[in-house]
Amino acid sequence: MEAANDFEYLLSKAGALGPWQIRLFLFIGLNGFFMAFQHLGSVFLADTPDHWCRLPPAAYASASRANLTLEQTKYIGIPLETWRGKERLSQCTYYQYNFSSFNLSFDDFSLYNRSEPTNYCNEWQFDNSQYISTIVTEWNLVCSWKWLKSTVQASYMAGVLIGCLIFGFISDRFGRRKALLISQALFCISSILASFAPGYVTFIFGRFLTGVSAPGIFGCAFVLITEIVDTKWRAMIGVYYQLPFGIGYATLPAIAYLLRERQELQLALSIPSIVILLSYWVIPESPRWLITKNRFEEALQVLHKCAKTNKRVLPPDNEVMQIMKEMQKKEEASRNQEAAVNRLLLITRLCSTLEMTKRTAAAYFTCPDGMGWGRTQPISSHAKKPVQSGHRTNRIIPCTLNYLLSPDKPIFARTPQVFLHGLVWAQLIVSGLHRFPVGAMSGPHRFVVATVYYGLALNSPTLGGNPYLVVFLGGIFEIPAYLLGSLIISRSGRKITYSITFILAGIACLLITCTPSNITWLISTFAVVGKFFITITFAISYLYTAELFPTVIRNIAVSYGSMVGRVGSISSPYIVYLLGHHNKILPLILFGIGSIIAGLVALVLPETKNTHLVENISEYQQTNKK
């Protein structure tokens, strides 16, 4: 039963889940629908059709005189190479023949010396049977320039990483609504301008800005919607929030099928998103956030509007104001306790207690956007002994940081915290310097969900079959994944579901590597199954996020966690397109092993089922003592 002095009590009076919340949920869902277009649009915008060197004009003139077909001309003028164990015509070189002397028929091709020196291509011809143009055909992103194709998606994800920092700060400092409106405007403008990019660099810059806006339109909106529903409905709302993204994902290949030209497709994916700008008149500020900022009158107005729409009646205004003031007093006490830690970096608030440090390290170690969310559990059995001078191995990084942060007031007082603080700070420093460009390969990395999710999304069309159908199935199966995920976590809890789906996704990836390459239907089946389970994992992570940390730092936690996770999503296109170019099963082995190990590591996270959202640090600490 809700205490009469917290926000859950006020929500129960205004309507825990009524027409007001549902209307906001449906409108906010448009953000996810349109974001899916930009998130995964590079599957078609940056696809690489079959291509070959454009031979010198004399070659085609000679071929015309000999009545040779294009395939015959290619076979004579282009050497053979071995690729993935099979022989094919080279895509990057051609023979240094004197093509002007060709007067033989194709039947005489054996007379030609197949060991002639070769030249690297300067121009290419592309098979346009599937696409009229992509950025690959438009700017020749093949052969020695093929790494630039990976940068198209990586630049978008790099923008997401930066956006996590920017909009996490804006959201917690200036409000969820302002962060959402700014990000929506940037999203619409940048995605439309990318359609008119005259060159590769300007296109990449437009994609980067679109990525910057993504955490605002998706993450800030998610935090807002979870802050206006109570515990009973939070699991359902948290997972169903992903549904519009899945619908947009499944809609994407239909649009790409109809529009095969790069600029037209980019415009079609961008212009409809203008509708989300109506948020200015529809979306209110989070009353939870308003209370933490002493803006009681505004919070009261939002609650009255909620109650009126839901046909409920709030307690008298003076009683509501008193409850909000009591909540604010708790927050003030908590803020004073955390003042020393907040001097340099807000991220250290995620490590302000032993349990929060443990949870932060474990969550960032396994989660997609670095968001592993759980309910606080007592840890009374941990030793709380001061660090002795002989424990130098565990103190190097944290003690150095402690000196920089607050030399007169140590915050690393206990041995377990010293080690875990070191882990968290090490991950931040390493991620910030981009020291792990393919960090998700080698084990249970904190960004493994993002790596596997986007890796499978990008890799599935390359495994064989119709790319439009494969992407459609990948998107349409996200919908039952969200629905099933919501049902399971409501009954079995977050932690066990999160861990099991991680492991099952990894097993599916490994099964693909064991399947003969000629059985394409079975390969596609395993790919869809793996995508299905990793989608459940991804969806749970967002709900888990909102349930772990207090309101005052919730969006910081989401944003910094997402920042860490985006290092994985930045690496995924390089793993798929560059590593997979040489051996297509290597990315799947990495995804599979990483998912399984991360699923096991996830078992250290606490359970969050049927818990209320903690408002401040003091309440968080009190909860740990129960």
448 and 366 Cβ atoms separated by less than 8 Å: yes
Which of 126, 156, 187 is the C-terminal boundary of a domain?
Answer: 126
Question: What's CA 54's distance to the chain center, in Å?
Answer: 39
Q: What is the pTM of this model?
A: 0.72
- Do 91 and 196 belong to one domain? no
375 falls within a domain: no
Residues 116 and 167 reside in one and the same domain? no
Residue 7: its pLDDT value, please?
81
Looking at per-residue pLDDT, the higher value among 617 and 519 belongs to 519
Q: Is the model's pLDDT at 33 over the cut of 80?
A: yes
Residues 6+ apart with CB under 8 A from 400: none
Q: Which of 298, 314, 330 is the last residue of a domain?
A: 314
Contact (CB, 8 A) for 331 and 615: yes
Q: What is the mean predicted confidence (pLDDT) over 326-345?
A: 58
Torsion of CA 191, 193, 199, 200, to 10 degrees: -20
pLDDT at 437: 31
The pLDDT score that the predictor gives to residue 35 is 93
Q: What are phi and psi of 142, to 5 degrees?
A: -135, 170
Higher-pLDDT residue of 312 and 330 is 312
Task: Give the separation between CA 370 and CA 24, rounded to whole angstroms.
Answer: 26
22 shares its domain with 169: yes
503 or 611, which is more confident: 503
Same domain, 159 and 270: yes
The answer on 551 and 462 residing in a single domain is yes
One domain for residues 581 and 437: yes
Range of lowest pLDDT (89-93, 173-177, 365-369, 510-514): 365-369
pLDDT at 44 over 60: yes
Helix (H) or strand (E) holding 87: strand 86-89
% of the chain beyond a pLDDT of 70: 70
What pLDDT score does 467 carry? 84
Q: What is the pLDDT of residues 199-220, one digit of tens each?
A: 999 999 999 999 999 988 988 8
Provide mean pLDDT across the span 545-553: 63
- What is the identity of the amino acid at 8? E
- 512 and 568 fall within a common domain: yes
- Residues in a beta bridge with 87: 82
Nearest C-alpha neighbor of 236 from the set 22, 475, 533, 477: 22
pLDDT at position 414: 42
Q: Token pair 């002493």 is at which residue?
A: 294
Residue 80, token pair as written in the block: 């053979």
Q: Is 324 a member of any domain?
A: no
In a domain, 383, yes or no: no
Residues 159 and 190 in one domain: yes
In a domain, 607, yes or no: yes
The Cα–Cα gap between 291 and 301 comes to: 12
Let me know whether 19 and 60 are in one domain: no
CA torsion sign, 383 to 387 to 389 to 390?
positive
Q: Are 307 and 14 in contact (CB under 8 A)?
A: yes
Residue 288 confidence (pLDDT) above 50: yes
Q: Model confidence over 222-237: pLDDT tens digits? A: 888 888 887 777 767 8
Rounded to whole angstroms, the Cα distance separating 238 from 357 reads 24
Rounded Cα–Cα distance for residues 80 and 87 (Å) = 7
Give yes or no for residue 368 having a pLDDT over 70.
no
Residue 572 within any structural domain of the chain: yes
Helix axis angle, 296-309 to 19-40, nearest 10°? 100
Largest Cα–Cα separation, the chain = 98
Same domain, 613 and 473: yes
Last residue of a domain, one of 314, 331, 347: 314
Quick one: 108 and 206 in the same domain?
Answer: no
Measured in degrees and rounded to the nearest 5, phi and psi for residue 94 equal: -145, 160
Query: For the chain, how many structural domains are there in total?
Result: 3
Q: Is the pLDDT of residue 79 over 90?
A: no
* Interatomic CA distance for residues 571 and 108, integer angstroms: 48
Same domain, 563 and 437: yes
Tokens of 291: 């209370």
Q: Which of 529, 494, 479 is nearest to 29 (CA)?
A: 479
Q: What is the pLDDT of residue 200?
A: 93
What pLDDT is stored for residue 566 in this prediction? 73
The parent domain of residue 274 ranges over 1-36+144-314
Mean pLDDT (the chain) is 76
The DSSP letter of residue 51 is E
CATH number of the CATH domain containing 601 = 1.20.1250.20
The C-alpha atoms of residue 373 and residue 379 are separated, in whole angstroms, by 17
More confident residue, 553 or 344: 553
The encoded tokens of residue 129 equal 């049977």
Q: For residue 577, what pLDDT is reported?
A: 77
Q: Is residue 522 part of a domain?
A: yes
In a domain, 599, yes or no: yes
Whether 396 shows a pLDDT value over 60: the answer reads: no
Cα separation of 584 and 80, whole Å? 20
Q: How many CB atoms lie within 10 A of CB 560?
A: 27
Return the sign of the alpha-carbon dihedral for residues 437, 418, 165, 562.
Answer: positive
Higher pLDDT, 420 or 236: 236
Output the pLDDT for position 447. 72
Rounded Cα–Cα distance for residues 565 and 577 (Å): 20
Query: Does a structural domain hold residue 111?
Result: yes
